[in-house]
């Protein structure tokens, strides 16, 4: 049986969103709205798995509203897509518990993001951070989501979601109850790298603000960050193969192509043999042109937090209406008397 197509994706409200979040995910979310029904979630329960969200209640609430504003400013239409925050829909937590019992320790032990986030201090990490991918599987499968637009770094988590769906279906002998959600990882910049080090992912948690472009950065800050971005001393190559072994050049070209909505080959051809200084000027202009309207719209939306809350409440009602019957079926399948 083919499951009806449904998009689900989310972002953590742990900090302001950056260019990686925008190009890797958000920009694709906006496009998908015209293709199938979409749910876009601010995953505030995931945000308390780490110190950045944990025990900072005011900051967490503000970040949830700010991320909601970023979604809308980037083009997510709350009249078309269901936009809500995760903690408002209890089915996410309920299903996550069932998945905690379906998932295996060995599966979670393989998750590279957990290893990257905890480094040598695994014993000090929260249990929530460890089981985080199971809550993520619950987010998607509470709606029987089939398509999940994300950046490259979420691929492994999505494979785990598929494993969970498959194991639940087979353990409880309900073939095809859950769909196996497909990752949608598209565009020229599925993995945006740090502006300070082309081998590291652009990330909210990098201590250097010069490593990333935030969606709220002003014109001067964007231009300055791009001008200061690390590069190598050679001019830009005249073929895509010439980007090999030049991670900083490759990253900036990918960013340009994704922002301009063009393919990488044509951007490489346009800047072949040119100096980085010239290319950076054009990249800064393009970035400002694409990102400033988003920042301005975010400021406008954030001036009226009550309206943002209204959107989240209404989105949560719609989300719950979809998740509740699925969760009721799960309870029956599992044998919970209700
Ligand atoms: P998060 O909040 O870390 O990131 C949000 C989205 O941005 C993408 N992304 C990037 N893409 C390209 N280059 C980068 N440097 C970059 N950094 C981040 C991420 O791939 C992601 O798509 N676990 C998820 C949130 C989540 C979720 C879900 C996603 C919770 N439940 C269910 C999809 C479906 C996360 O922490 O994303």
Residue 54's pLDDT band, with cuts at 50, 70 and 90, is confident
Domain identity same for 218 and 87: no
Task: Tell me how far the alpha carbon of residue 334 is from its chain's centroid.
Answer: 31
Average pLDDT of the chain is 96
Contacts of 48 (CB under 8 A, 6+ apart): 54, 60, 128
Rounded distance between C-alpha atoms, residue 242 and residue 51, angstroms: 41
Domain identity same for 281 and 224: yes
**pLDDT of 202 above 70:** yes
Residue 250 domain flag: yes
Average confidence (pLDDT) over 181-199? 97
Domain identity same for 130 and 270: no
**pLDDT of 46 above 90:** yes
Domain identity same for 282 and 179: no
Average confidence (pLDDT) over 222-248? 96
By alpha-carbon position, which residue is closest to atom 27 of ligand 1?
A: 10
Cα 2 to ligand 1 centroid, rounded to whole Å: 27
Average confidence (pLDDT) over 270-292? 97
Residue 28 domain flag: yes
Average confidence (pLDDT) over 147-164? 98
Q: What is the pLDDT, as a whole number, of residue 3? A: 96
Q: What is the pLDDT, as a whole number, of residue 205? A: 86
Rounded distance between C-alpha atoms, residue 97 and residue 102, angstroms: 9
Q: Report how far apart, in Å, the C-alpha atoms of 255 and of each of 119, 194, 249, 262 are.
A: 29, 11, 10, 10
Cα 332 to ligand 1 centroid, rounded to whole Å: 32
Cα 12 to ligand 1 centroid, rounded to whole Å: 7
Domain identity same for 280 and 309: no
Domain identity same for 233 and 90: no
Q: What is the pLDDT, as a whole number, of residue 246? A: 97
By alpha-carbon position, which residue is closest to atom 16 of ligand 1?
A: 20
Residue 192 domain flag: no
Classify 191 as helix, strand or coil. coil
Domain identity same for 220 and 295: yes
Rounded distance between C-alpha atoms, residue 305 and residue 43, angstroms: 18
Contact between 72 and 39 (Cβ < 8 Å): no
- In which region does residue 235 sit, left (phi positive, over 0), alpha (psi from -120 to 50) or beta (all else)? beta
Rounded distance between C-alpha atoms, residue 218 and residue 220, angstroms: 6
* Ligand 1 mutation target, pool 7, 8, 10, most atoms within 8 A of CB: 10
Report the CATH number that the domain containing residue 213 is assigned in CATH. 1.10.240.10
Rounded distance between C-alpha atoms, residue 29 and residue 25, angstroms: 6
Domain identity same for 77 and 13: yes
Q: Which atom of ligand 1 is nearest to the CA of 202?
A: 15
Rounded CA Rg of the chain: 21
Q: Which atom of ligand 1 is nearest to the CA of 157?
A: 23
Query: Is the pLDDT higher at 301 or at 121?
Result: 301
Domains of the chain: total: 2
Domain identity same for 16 and 48: yes
Domain identity same for 12 and 145: yes
Residue 189 domain flag: no
Active site residue ranges: 117, 201, 204
* Ligand 1 mutation target, pool 7, 11, 96, 259, most atoms within 8 A of CB: 11
**pLDDT of 67 above 80:** yes
Domain identity same for 149 and 35: yes
Report the CATH number that the domain containing residue 74 is assigned in CATH. 3.40.50.620
Residue 1's pLDDT band, with cuts at 50, 70 and 90, is low
State percent of the chain over pLDDT 70: 99
Domain identity same for 59 and 84: yes
Q: What is the DSSP string of 141-184?
A: HTTT--EEE--GGGHHHHHHHHHHHHHHHHHTT-TTSS--PEEE
Q: Which domain range does residue 24 map to?
A: 7-184+304-334
Q: What is the pLDDT, as a whole number, of residue 338? A: 82
**pTM of structure:** 0.97
Query: Is the pLDDT higher at 54 or at 183?
Result: 183
Residue 2 domain flag: no
Residues having CB closer than 6 A to ligand 1 are: 8-12, 20-21, 24-25, 43, 46, 136, 139-140, 148, 150-151, 153-154, 157, 190-192, 201-202
Tell me which of 36-45, 85-94, 187-196, 200-209 is least confident.
200-209
Residue 160 domain flag: yes
Residue 1 domain flag: no
Residue 98 domain flag: yes
**pLDDT of 91 above 90:** yes
**pLDDT of 52 above 90:** no
Residue 250's pLDDT band, with cuts at 50, 70 and 90, is very high
């Amino acid at each position: 049986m083919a499951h009806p197509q449904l998009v689900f994706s989310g972002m953590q409200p742990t900090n302001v969103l950056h260019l990686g979040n925008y190009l890797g995910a958000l920009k694709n979310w906006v496009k998908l709205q015209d293709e199938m029904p979409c749910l876009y979630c601010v995953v505030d329960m995931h945000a308390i798995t780490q110190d950045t969200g944990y025990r900072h209640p005011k900051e967490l609430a503000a970040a949830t509203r700010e991320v909601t504003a970023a979604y809308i400013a980037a083009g997510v239409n709350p009249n078309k897509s269901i936009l809500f925050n995760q903690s408002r829909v209890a089915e996410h937590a309920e299903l996550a518990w069932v998945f905690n019992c379906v998932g295996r320790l060995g599966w979670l032990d393989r998750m590279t993001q957990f290893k990257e986030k905890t480094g040598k201090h695994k014993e000090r990490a929260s249990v929530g951070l460890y089981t985080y991918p199971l809550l993520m599987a619950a987010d998607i499968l509470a709606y029987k989501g089939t398509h999940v637009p994300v950046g490259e770094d979420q691929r492994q988590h999505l494979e785990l979601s598929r494993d969970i769906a498959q194991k639940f279906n087979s353990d409880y002998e309900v073939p095809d109850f859950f769909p196996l959600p497909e990752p949608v990882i598209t565009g020229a910049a599925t993995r945006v790298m740090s502006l300070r080090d082309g081998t590291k992912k652009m990330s909210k948690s990098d201590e250097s603000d010069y490593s990333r472009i935030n969606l709220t950065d002003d014109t001067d800050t964007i231009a300055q960050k791009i001008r200061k971005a690390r590069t190598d001393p050679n001019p830009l190559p005249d073929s895509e193969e010439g980007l090999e072994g030049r991670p900083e050049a490759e990253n900036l070209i990918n960013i340009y192509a994704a922002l301009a909505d063009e393919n990488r080959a044509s951007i490489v051809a346009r800047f072949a043999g040119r100096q980085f200084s010239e290319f950076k000027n054009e990249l800064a202009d393009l970035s400002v042109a694409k990102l400033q309207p988003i920042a301005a719209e975010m400021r406008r939306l954030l001036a009226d937090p009550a309206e943002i809350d209204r959107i989240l409440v209404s989105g949560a009602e719609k989300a719950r209406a979809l998740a509740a019957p699925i969760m009721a079926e799960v309870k029956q399948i599992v044998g919970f008397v209700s």
